[in-house]
Structure 1
Amino acid sequence: MVIPEKVASGKPWVWRARFPDFHYEMDVELLKQGFHIAYLDVADLFGSPRAISYGNQFYDELTKKHGFQKKVALEGVSRGGLFIYNWAIANPEKVSCIYADTPVCDFKSWPGGKGASEGSESRWQACLKAYGMTEAEALAYKGNPVDRIQVIAEARIPVLHIISENDQVVPPAENTRLMFSRVPEPFRKDHFKIISVKTGTEKSKGHHFTHPQPGQVVSFIRENTLQKDAKHTSD
């Protein structure tokens, strides 16, 4: 937990999943504006039910014991996408907005490597263990974010992703774009946005890049988190 020097009204917070030191420009700015920045390391649980259980405990600790805002802004980087989406799908009423950076939205893509991504065999085995599944069960599983994104749409949770179009590790076509395509047009038009980066670095196989619009992310989180808190307070 990173605590701001001056806490904003309502005690808003950002909850980041995985790689807290990657593309952190937005978090630094939000910290200056009074947001707490929270991190819970459940990376090697790949958004499994056990990870969600830990997340529920973490949320209760911060909101019930420390008075944090009831609706949290979720941030997920890469595999962190599995956690933030699965937690949000289980707790849609507790989420103000979702910002995801090159997120994994289907474990069959990564770490499974069952599509265009090479995946990671060691991480795939760890993922299967985390979910308590055989590979056949995992391939037939319909509980990934790409399968359940309608819950987020129906809850009217605003979503912003940043993707690299040449990402070979977490290909957008198997993750963000596939997931967004399953959202009904009326919901998608107003609530699901993408910042597109043409090319990521060669070294990272397109997965990493310099963030082009951190200010847009800050505005997105402020607008949705602070407004919803104000509405909540006035109800």
Structure 2
Amino acid sequence: MEQRRLGDKQSEWNGFGRVDFEVAGRPCWVVVPKVAAPGRPWIWRTEFFGHEPQADLALLSRGWHVVYLDTKNMYGAPKAIALMEKFYAHMTKERRLAKRVVLEGFSRGGLYAFNYAVAHPQQVAALYLDAPVLDIRSWPGKKPESKEWRECLAVYGLTEEMVAGFKGGPLDNVAGVAKARVPILSVCGGADKTVPLAENTAVLETRYRELGGLIEVIVKDGGDHHPHSLKDPAPIVNFLVKHAQF
């Protein structure tokens, strides 16, 4: 039974109870399983909550909690990580979820998920990355006139001239995550034109394996950036249930 707190707003999401609240002034929520699994495992969708939710729903059915914190348009920058730290503290201390969490990064959500793992590898049970952005030069950097690129530069405090030497992205900081033995699953389209596999997950896979890390990559032959996830989420769920270190 989940304890209600002042300010909590109750609703329903796909047949499960949802609780909305705020942390550090940011909207956030938790979707609650019918019966929590031992240890109270949880998965944190870092962006695009509710999009292709089949893995989340399967994990809810297994007793996992599913959570989200609104850090839109912050591209996994240090300011976003600081908010995520406050949310993690709230979820583990006040809502009594497990001390480690699976971070689920869809598209640009990969920046948040991996950068949080870089900052706090001991808090991360596993990473599930789905067509993830792992280098801002790949996306949104290849669209220099876009609103997203201007937002990204601003939140990182970068100028165009500084980008070439930028070392604050996931692919620059793989070693600590590998040393902490964080398992990684990445699901990607083999023909992703928006977030190219060769510039993102393929680079991560090579570096992570060289460092002795556990990484599994599922490539959808001919697949573009969409649709995310897998129609049958069993390979995702099975990987997380087997390898996540709560």
- For the criterion TM > 0.5, the same-fold answer is yes
Instruction: Give the structure-2-normalised TM-score.
Output: 0.84
Instruction: Check the 8 A contact 1:110/1:119 in 2, yes or no.
Output: no
8 A contact 2:127–2:184 mirrored in 1: yes
Q: How does 1:1-235 map to 2 (within 5 A)?
A: 1-113=30-142, 118=143, 121-185=146-210, 187-188=212-213, 191-200=214-223, 206-209=224-227, 211-225=230-244, 228-229=245-246
Q: Aligned with 2:104: secondary structure?
A: strand
Distance (Å, rounded) in 1 between the aligned partners of 2:209 and 2:127: 18
In 2, Cα distance between equivalents of 1:132 and 1:143? 11
Q: 79-88 or 18-27, which moves further after superposition?
A: 18-27
1:232 corresponding residue in structure 2: none
Deviations 1:40-97 (A, max 9, x none): 1213100000000000000000101111100101100000000000001000000010
Secondary structure class of the residue paired with 1:157: coil
Aligned amino acid, residue 86 of structure 2: Q
- The answer to whether the Cα contact below 8 Å between 1:101 and 1:161 also exists between their aligned partners in 2 is yes
1:13-36 deviations in Å (ceiling 9; x for gaps): 001111112221010011011111
CA, structure 1 residues 170+182, in 2 after alignment: closer, same or farther (shift >3 Å)? same
- Give the alignment's TM-score, normalised by structure 1: 0.87
Identify which range, 92-101 or 132-141, moves more after superposition.
132-141
AA partner of residue 194 (structure 1): V
Q: Which moved more, 1:53-62 or 1:36-45?
A: 36-45
CA distance in structure 2 between the aligned counterparts of 1:146 and 1:119, rounded to whole angstroms: 21
Indicate the RMSD between aligned Cα atoms, in angstroms: 1.5
Instruction: Give the strand-richer structure, 1 or 2.
Output: 2
Query: How many Å separate the matches in 2 of 1:38 and 1:18?
Result: 10
Helix, strand or coil at the partner of 2:212: helix
Asked if structure 1 preserves the Cα contact closer than 8 Å seen for 2:58 and 2:233, the reply is no
Q: Distance in 1 between matches of 2:211 and 2:80?
A: 32
Q: Distance in 1 between matches of 2:145 and 2:232?
A: 30
- 1:186 Cα deviation from its structure 2 partner: 5.8
Shift of the alpha carbon at 1:139? 2.5
The one-letter amino acid paired with 2:178 is A
Question: Structure 2 vs 1, CA of residues 119 and 151 (structure 1 numbering), >3 Å: closer, same or farther?
Answer: farther
More helix by share: 1
- Residue 184 of structure 1 deviates from its aligned partner by 4.5
Residue segments in structure 2 that go unaligned for 5+ positions in a row: 1-29
Q: Contact 2:106 / 2:132 at 8 angstroms: preserved in 1? A: yes
